[in-house]
Amino acid sequence: MMSDFVSNATHCSIAPGRVNLLGEHVDYNDGMVLPAAIDRAVTLIARTRPDRLVTLRAQDLNESVTFSLDALSAKTDVLGQPLPAWACYPAAVAWAIQEKGFDTVGIQAAYQSNVPIGAGLSSSAAVEVAFAALWQELSGWSSSRMELAKICQRAENAYVGVNCGLMDQFASANGVADHALYFDTRSLEFHPVPLPRGTVIVIADSGVRRSLTTVAYNDRRAACEQAVALLKPHLPGMRALRDVTPVDFARLEHYLPTLVARRAQHIVEECARMEEAARVLEAGDAAAFGRLMFAGHASLRDLYEVSCPELNVLVESARALRGCFGARLTGAGFGGCTVNLVAEEQAEPFIAGLTQAYEQATRRKADVYLCHASQGVTVTKL
């Protein structure tokens, strides 16, 4: 029990994971994305302490650590030992809050999560947002939820060393129940869009954890940057692949090396799919949105090459089941999860059918579960 570690806890912070419904790998190309916060979350309980120490317990790992808020740059605990990887995320948030000029206070805290780690559902972002919102509440400074997300992104980029975009922290901080968030990663403007009536989100965890993704991810970012450099002389005013229309790309792709062209084609077409997605979701057209999901997966599989056999089995198995409007890999790829848009009345047989089909095809068990689009981070007094 977390309460055994934090006696007399005064506050509870709950930050959701997220699933991205469409717009994959476009966040670092200034494109639009469509995440939804989900009802899988990090739950954190805490109380202040009178010194400048932070004592944490990761309940799921059965591990504890204590570090000082006045020695965060050292990335060590109070005994001088390197912080364990899991503790770097809360420490990073405290560091980024202080860098921003806000206060942090010593805390005794414990947390647990039902967001699968390494599955592409942003477990690390949920941890970051839960701690940021908690420190905001306990320390008394004010900030918008968007600013809170930026602090968390800064923490992960500069302290943890992961070159992530803003989408994950944004969705965990700003989620709206029963809605996805249509988010422009360039302007940071967003608006909630209702999910089609009578549909639910089903997530299927392949059980395959990502490997070699840092190298592969960086290779794809580099290919996008190369495409921008080569296309810019032909498209005045272009800043990112988001600015290239499919018509422009068809006219200019011969300027790109073959592999770079494939990577860029995915981004250009995915951005176009996002424009169409805004229209069909406002119209409540589940079937049309589902077709965009399937097309997005095919592009990630064939052009961006970030899928894997298990994810492909999940998508094709879903396509064959009644009630499935669309399916695609979600997250960076190379393993993790697929996201499915399913008729609510067919959800239970869909989950059973997909679980069975995946096990028959791969001899692996998938964790397939219904989830709902949920609100963003909340902090309550106990």
Domain boundaries, the chain: 2-194+375-381, 199-371
CA distance linking residue 330 with residue 168, whole number of Å? 12
Q: Strand order of the sheet with strand 190-194?
A: 32-33, 179-184, 190-194
In angstroms, the CA 322 to CA 303 distance is 28
Note down pLDDT in tens along the chain; length 382 residues.
777 777 899 999 999 999 999 999 999 999 999 999 999 999 999 999 999 999 999 999 999 999 999 999 999 999 999 999 999 999 999 999 999 999 999 999 999 998 876 666 678 899 999 999 999 999 999 999 999 999 999 999 999 988 778 999 999 999 999 999 999 999 999 999 999 999 999 999 999 986 545 678 889 999 999 999 999 999 999 999 999 999 999 999 999 999 999 999 999 999 999 999 999 999 999 999 999 999 999 999 999 999 999 999 999 999 999 999 999 999 888 899 999 999 999 999 999 999 999 999 999 999 999 999 999 999 999 9
Vertex 133: Cα angle to 332 and 104 (nearest 5): 115
Q: Give every strand in the sheet of 367-371, ordered side by side.
A: 324-330, 337-343, 199-205, 367-371
Q: Provide the CATH topology of domain 2-194+375-381.
A: Ribosomal Protein S5; domain 2 (3.30.230)
* Tokens standing for residue 40: 């899988």
218 neighbors 368 (Cβ within 8 angstroms): no
Q: Residues with catalytic annotation?
A: 168
Token match 């298990």: residue?
Answer: 310
Instruction: State the pLDDT at residue 165.
Output: 80
End-to-end CA distance of the chain: 16
Q: Which pLDDT score, from 0 to 100, does residue 119 have?
A: 62
Q: Supply the pLDDT for residue 235.
A: 97
Q: Could you tell me the sign of the dihedral formed by the alpha carbons of 286, 288, 291, 297, in that order?
A: negative
CATH of region 199-371:
3.30.70.890
Q: What is the pLDDT of residue 79?
A: 96
CA proximity to 33, closest of 207, 169, 163, 143: 169
Please name the residue that has the structure tokens 């089903």. Answer: 202
